[in-house]
Structure 1
């Protein structure tokens, strides 16, 4: 397998707090990788470092073998890294289709049709984005990410606010996306993680606690004690 993303000694300090501490991490092309961990484990800080939203205190980020540590977020998007935020970042006063077209830098609207169809929002293309239910706003964000045609799609808590039926559709969507793109998934929904992920990385207090297949992670005593509430 080809390594798409790698971090070496990646760290981020906020004052005296080590939010991410010396993380060595590799994602192979074509996999669905989940990053899980308790609140405050450093998950969102970690993916913010990968996407270029914040700068690391130490360490290196490689994408397709190229050092992108110093690149700003927009340049990483151009390289193929798309990040959908934990808090929705849509353009509230524009239509659903206009949001996606803007994300794709193709203001004509046609670029929005396929991504919206993939996330199940094609019938809401003309609706003002700010009037969507919260769960649908999350799906719109995913469509905006897909419109960028990324090599790596980072999804931060994408099922927050989705109904059970929408989560089932989301599972189908991620499997479809993973045929063409690599997916890095930050998610609290453990059944979904266990069903979707090829491999799981567990963060705790900014460091990697465990890594492996869903079965290996679920059976790990340290993970059960720190995260799953057992053991």
Structure 2
């Protein structure tokens, strides 16, 4: 039986009358790729903020590797092995690719900085672009740089929030190969609107709708779920 690396129970986050996250349970098995999907306004972005420590839940608990992290700030979760990327790139546009990766590597207290940066760049296919200013990269390469910065921390759990947004069609296959190569050493939580990517990568899928879990299961089960079809698969695939 797979071990659970992250367990969220009864998470709630309300904004006035809006129940953005309303009693969500989520369990991530170690070494798996788990996708989180749902229509616009489903609560995906708020849930990611709760898991990464950017927001504190109104109720509920989050445990990582058996330890309660519900009230830990984001930087402390990073130190414990939770890495994440955002819907909007969070790179340092005025610095080189090398310097962006170096800043991430330094947070991991790596002794051989140059070697660690080169290895991180190679993992995302940017080793030939290390001198380039990050803000001049294509959007797809900026997304890869952000993922590389996350991987430089050697996370045990990597949360990827809409990672293929802005990718050209030819870049998506390379991204999927990258993600497949992360497991089982790294658990991946993938928040993604591209259902072809979700179905190709995810071992399990959780569907949110109106702040609650609508369904959770294997890709084939989710695809065949009538409630999911009505709420999401039959409609818009845009992220929130």
TM-score by length of 1: 0.97
Q: Which residue in 1 is equivalent to 2:164? A: 159
The alignment of Structure 1 onto Structure 2 pairs a total of residues equal to 230
Contact 1:101/1:110 (<8 A) preserved = no
Q: Which residue in 1 is equivalent to 2:39? A: 38
Q: Which residue in 2 is equivalent to 1:70? A: 71
Q: Which residue in 1 is equivalent to 2:196? A: 191
Over residues 186-216 of structure 1, what are the superposed CA-to-partner deviations in whole Å (9 max), with x where a residue is unaligned?
0000011001000000000110001111100
Moved more, 13-22 or 111-120: 111-120
Q: Does 2:222 correspond to 1:221?
A: no
| Structure 2 unaligned spans of 5+ | 236-240
Over residues 44-99 of structure 1, what are the superposed CA-to-partner deviations in whole Å (9 max), with x where a residue is unaligned?
11011001011111110000010000110000001100010111110011101110
Contact 2:35/2:204 (<8 A) preserved = yes
Structure 1 residue matching 2:31: 3-state secondary structure: coil
What's the offset of the Cα at 1:108? 3.9
Over residues 114-163 of structure 1, what are the superposed CA-to-partner deviations in whole Å (9 max), with x where a residue is unaligned?
12111111111110001111111111110000000000000000011111
TM-score by length of 2: 0.93
Contact 2:12/2:23 (<8 A) preserved = yes
Q: Which residue in 2 is equivalent to 1:9? A: 10
Task: Work out the CA distance in 2 between the residues paired with 1:40 and 1:113.
Answer: 39
Aligned pairs (5 A) from 1:22-101: 22-101=23-102
Structure 1 residue matching 2:216: 3-state secondary structure: strand
Task: Work out the CA distance in 2 between the residues paired with 1:138 and 1:169.
Answer: 12
RCO higher in structure (CA 8 A, sep ≥6): 2
RMSD: 1.1
Q: Which residue in 2 is equivalent to 1:143? A: 148
Task: Work out the CA distance in 2 between the residues paired with 1:6 and 1:174.
Answer: 22
What's the offset of the Cα at 1:179? 3.0
Structure 2 residue matching 1:177: 3-state secondary structure: coil
What's the offset of the Cα at 1:180? 1.2
Task: Work out the CA distance in 2 between the residues paired with 1:42 and 1:12.
Answer: 9
Contact 1:98/1:109 (<8 A) preserved = no
Over residues 156-186 of structure 1, what are the superposed CA-to-partner deviations in whole Å (9 max), with x where a residue is unaligned?
0001111122100011000001131000000
Task: Work out the CA distance in 2 between the residues paired with 1:199 and 1:46.
Answer: 17
